[in-house]
Amino acid sequence: MESILAQNVYDDPDFFAGYSRLPRQVHGLDGAPEWPAIRDMLPPLAGKRIVDLGCGFGWASRWMREQGAAAVLGLDLSDNMVRRAKADTRDAAIEYRIADLETLELPEAAFDLAYSALTLHYLRDFGRLVRVVHKALVPGGGFVFTIEHPIFMAAAHPHWIADEDGRKTWPVNGYSIEGERRTDWFARGVLKYHRTIGTTLNSLIGAGFQIRRVEEFSPTPGQIARAPELAEEVERPMLLLVSACR
């Protein structure tokens, strides 16, 4: 019988080994083509108390401290990820903890910024997390996050189909049907949750956030010239980047 992978796929040894070899994990933030766009969306970080939701190896947590953040709390479901983040960090103002964002509780008005990269599409209940984050921020506090773009998530698997001339196409199926999506990425049947852009943004508005900026990340011509394998990312949006404010 085929086993259903738990949400905590990052503790699967084969998945973790593959994931650890991704350029963005070997080279850190500069290995992620969307990083310059995210950086532009972040508020000034000096003196800020930050929570990094799904902190992974802790690359962003450490960078935020280098920008002068007062303290960073990095949270992640995976023991593998938290161990690695702790091993790579020498900074008493960064604390890493194992936590499930599906059931997370945070102290009220304790943070100036909540940040999350490529994690919230693993959550079944995005609305709950958004409400928890809203309460945990001080008035005026920021919430900046990235997720897999809902169009990318709804595209056919294995993400492209050859047309009759052999060209890659990315048909989108069932965009309006929200909920579980499974993908084969370093492991079979990795579980993610599809939500439309409307649901994603309305969850923020419903919780009381003001939306500041929304980017549908696509690589720049300069990035494609340096890394030609990025060229197909202009065919459909891969990542959704959102900046909101309490």
Ligand X SMILES: C[S@@+](CC[C@H](N)C(=O)[O-])C[C@H]1O[C@@H](n2cnc3c(N)ncnc32)[C@H](O)[C@@H]1O
Residues that bind ligand X (CB under 6 A): 7, 10, 54-57, 59, 76-78, 81, 100-102, 117-119, 122-123
Two structure tokens written together for 37: 């766009």
DSSP 172-190: B--TT--EEEEE-SSSTTE
CB of 11 to ligand X, least distance (A): 8
Comparison of 82 and 154: residue with beta carbon closer to ligand X: 82
- What is the three-class DSSP state of 133? helix
Residue pair 70/48 in contact (Cβ under 8 Å)? The answer is yes
- Of the pair 112, 148, the CB lying nearest ligand X is at 148
Residues in the chain: 246
Residue 110 C-beta: closest distance to ligand X, Å: 18
Residues 224 and 158 sit within 8 Å (Cβ to Cβ): no
Of the candidates 40, 78, 56, 64, the one whose C-alpha atom is nearest the C-alpha of residue 114 is 64
Q: What is the token pair recorded at 55?
A: 């902190």
- As measured in angstroms, the least distance from the Cβ of 244 to ligand X is 18
Least separation in angstroms between residue 139's CB and ligand X is 26
Nearer to ligand X, 10 or 209 (CB): 10
Pick 117 or 207: Cβ nearer ligand X: 117
Interaxial angle between packed helices 197-207 and 126-136, expressed in degrees from 0 to 180 and rounded to the nearest 10:
30
Q: Which is nearer to ligand X, 193 or 209 (CB)?
A: 193
Instruction: Report the nearest approach of ligand X to the CB of residue 101 (Å).
Output: 4
